[in-house]
Structure 1
Amino acid sequence: MRSPLLTTCLLGTLALGLTACSTDTSPGDDPAAGTTADETGASGEGHGAVAGAEELAEPRLGLTTIDPSGTVAHLDLLDEGVVELGSVDAPTAVETDGRYLFAETAGGLEVVDSGVWTWDHGDHFHYYRADPRLLGTVEGDGAATVATTNLSTSGSTGVHFAGSGDAVLLDTEALSRGELRERFRLDGEPGTGMVVPVGSYALVTEGRGEATTLVGRTADGDETGLREACPDASGTITTRVGAVVGCSDGALLATVADDELVVERIPYPAGSTPSSGGTAAPATAFDNREGRPTVAGLAGSAGVWLLDTRARAWTLLPAPTPLVTVTAVDDADQRLLALARDGRVLVLDGATGQVVAETAPLVADSLAAGRTPTLIADQQRAYLSAPVEGRLYEIDAADGARIARSFETAGEPAFVAETGR
């Protein structure tokens, strides 16, 4: 059933350019302030705490946006307040780990700290808030491929610059203190590549196309001796189980066991992809609700790939209509969220691929103009950017894809990240 669009309401103007029209109450009250971490970061027993950060009773979720000129703003989803955080150079792409925004610019990769994050401790979570800030630029040439983990105060973040071939591993704990520190920077050949953090290790691509190999390295850049073939390596994501790297013949799942880097191969089902006589294209990008074990990716025009990293198994679902992007909610109902080429957001059954709910065409103008919206799956809601329409949508996927809230923006929300998760 199609949910109606949000009833039109008169939009006032906030000082910094965002205002909200709401069809229900905000998701929660202002979280109670907790303790402040001391200089040793001992608050919360070090579970994601850093000096000066405030521990909260619930996540301080927000939407952090960067417009085409580089202006960075943060919308607090609890009180709907907006703060302008500063500006970066005009970005061409942005990646996020749920706290930091990594903006690809002409000078390299500029890093924005939203100041809100969640520490996933497996059976429970810790929530924090600190002052947002712009952390500076990781210098590099050409398009930057960024690979993150699910923890924003420990481990590493990987960056590969296509123009120079430089492979960089950033110290994420240093980022949480406001420092840009490179664990290693390795020379490479220009072209696409990846640096994928896995615990205290990293996987770095070598070669191109059918000859692509993933090489295991320590945080200092030394080789571990692990080398795994990954033809046409493309797409990476970290789940609760481990780090996924897409290959044309399946995926590699990287974990750390007994302090050693371990890689498992998860091949596509026989007869499914062109290399084995099928028609489903390999997935070249993956997305999910952060930290969950199942990820989703498009199988070209043939459908949707689901990879369950816990079961080490692929599932190919038919696409009900041509899709632009897809993400796995991975909840009790195994739902998927997808953006259709006509601008609708679809809620799909994860077992059959059938549409169980949908919105009206919310972002048809953006898609027609070649401005791809961002679709984000959360535990409670979904968020959709509408660059040309100048809006941000909050969607209740569990309630018939109902539009819960709509935020009008003064400028184009070219790049959007949900932060605090």
Structure 2
Amino acid sequence: MNCGSTRRARWRAPATVLAAGVLLAACGGSGGERERADAAPVPHGHVEGAEETAEAQWRLVLTEADGGRVRTLDPATGETAPAGEGAGEPAGVTAVGTDGRFAYLSTPDGLRVFDGGTWTVDHGDHVHHYRADARTVGRLDVPEAPGVSGDPAVTALAAGGKVRVLDRKALDAGKVAELARIPGRVAVAHAGHLVVASADGEVAVHGRDGRRVSRLPAACPEPRGQAATRRGAVLGCADGALLVTGEGGAFRAAKIAYPGAVPRAERAAEFRHRPGSDVLAARAGDAGAWVLDVRARAWHRVGDGPAVAVNAVGADAPVLLLGRDGALRSYDPATGEELARTDLLDDPDGADGAAPVIEVDTARAYVSDPAARAVHEIDYNDDLRTARTFDLPFSPAHMVETGW
């Protein structure tokens, strides 16, 4: 039985993740699980029909620009495969989000829930990686593209002034079950609870059953965007970001203010980052990108022109920015210094209204190229070298990565 591993990379991995190949004695039996004499112990996070693997199993979930069909791309093999409902959506998919395993596809007719079939279970001192068949799970009546945040127990979908709380165990079993609905604009799953910001800027902590536990004294005016990090839940606000931390049932909030007045068009509206990391990136309108260092509790700017797509790898690792000129650039997140540049996309405006996306994991970045019907694999530790280009039989309108 595998007890967890990581892919090799030059950046410093979080202390909670152990290096590949390190043997963890009896990790499968921790947490009070009993080994039956006639059967092997069930690994933590195991789901019926899933295969435990030695390494993280990244999988890209892509939707076609024409018709909204879903396909998966396995970076390990370079193979693409149709998945989910073969007929697709007549009106297409308008947005896609993920909680690390499930992809949530917004359409004019509601939300499709799609199981990407790869995920990681993090126990702090070790991790388990799993893979299974990708499949469509079900549908939800959600009026707009939701903000998505999840943990091993629940996934919170914030849209239309409501936060829908889904049961992850039911999703694992192929069913959509709603545990609660909470009024709110933005929500983050954190420390066994949900941190929710309402339209009037009030921030409250709720249990996973939707019950309100406490109200925080700090406000988050005009909440937009959210992120879950190892240092706490981050909510995007008109005046910066609100960092909420919880330990032992006590929650605290600290404002990380913008460095001066920021026009609405340049405020961070969507945070992008390697899952769990403490460095976040967000587009800043026509003025490059914001970098939010949660550890240092500070904002920085990188780049000086409009960004088509951005993402952040993590502490002491580059921030990636794809510009309107088609060039991919990497920046030092602390100093803003440009580290590398490569001309990547001929037409960064995409095709059929589809915009490029940057996804990052522990060793590579993936940049979708709708106009060229391709996905580029980038080694961000090697001067943005293009490691591979995956040519596709379709134009990728949307892309998310599962496996984390």
* Smaller-chain TM-score bracket: 0.7 to 0.9
**Which deviates more from structure 2 when the two are superposed, residues 379-388 or residues 218-227?**
218-227
Measure, in 2, the Cα distance between the counterparts of 1:121 and 1:139: 33
Counterpart of 2:310 (choices 326, 339, 344) is: 326
How far did residue 120 of structure 1 move?
2.6
Deviations 1:240-270 (CA, angstroms, capped at 9, x unpaired): 222211001121122321124443322233x
Change in CA separation of 1:280 and 1:178 when aligned onto 2, cut-off 3 Å:
closer
> Is residue 290 from structure 1 mapped to residue 275 from structure 2 by the alignment?
yes
How far did residue 301 of structure 1 move?
3.3
> Is residue 402 from structure 1 mapped to residue 403 from structure 2 by the alignment?
no
The residue number in structure 1 matching 2:167 is 171
Counterpart of 1:70 (choices 65, 68, 71) is: 68
The residue number in structure 2 matching 1:137 is 139
Counterpart of 1:83 (choices 71, 81, 84) is: 81
Measure, in 1, the Cα distance between the counterparts of 2:292 and 2:78: 35
| Highest RCO, 1 vs 2 (Cα 8 Å, sep ≥ 6) | 1
> Is residue 273 from structure 1 mapped to residue 261 from structure 2 by the alignment?
yes
How far did residue 415 of structure 1 move?
1.0
The residue number in structure 1 matching 2:219 is 229
How far did residue 367 of structure 1 move?
4.3
Aligned length: 365
Using structure 2 for the length normalisation, give the TM-score: 0.82
Deviations 1:153-195 (CA, angstroms, capped at 9, x unpaired): x222111332xx333111223212222111102467xxxx223
Measure, in 1, the Cα distance between the counterparts of 2:182 and 2:381: 46
Amino acid of the residue matched to residue 58 of structure 1? E
Alignment of 1:22-421 (within 5 A): 46-68=43-65, 69-87=67-85, 88-89=88-89, 90-140=92-142, 142-149=143-150, 151=151, 154-162=152-160, 165-186=161-182, 193-207=185-199, 211-227=200-216, 228-269=218-259, 272-274=260-262, 281-311=266-296, 313-332=297-316, 334-367=317-350, 370-421=353-404
- 1:67 touches 1:411 (CA, 8 Å); kept in 2? yes
**Aligned to 1:174, what secondary structure does the other structure show?**
helix
Measure, in 2, the Cα distance between the counterparts of 1:343 and 1:186: 41
Measure, in 2, the Cα distance between the counterparts of 1:268 and 1:330: 20
Deviations 1:316-359 (CA, angstroms, capped at 9, x unpaired): 23424432232211254x31111111111111122332322222
Change in CA separation of 1:203 and 1:354 when aligned onto 2, cut-off 3 Å:
same
How far did residue 299 of structure 1 move?
3.3
Amino acid of the residue matched to residue 103 of structure 1? L
How far did residue 123 of structure 1 move?
4.0
Change in CA separation of 1:113 and 1:197 when aligned onto 2, cut-off 3 Å:
same
- 2:287 touches 2:305 (CA, 8 Å); kept in 1? no
How far did residue 113 of structure 1 move?
0.5
Amino acid of the residue matched to residue 263 of structure 1? A
How far did residue 52 of structure 1 move?
2.6
**Aligned to 1:330, what secondary structure does the other structure show?**
coil
**Aligned to 1:366, what secondary structure does the other structure show?**
coil
Q: Which ranges in structure 1 are unaligned for 5 or more consecutive residues? A: 1-36
- 2:58 touches 2:401 (CA, 8 Å); kept in 1? yes
Amino acid of the residue matched to residue 309 of structure 2? T
RMSD of the alignment, in Å? 2.8
Change in CA separation of 1:186 and 1:283 when aligned onto 2, cut-off 3 Å:
closer
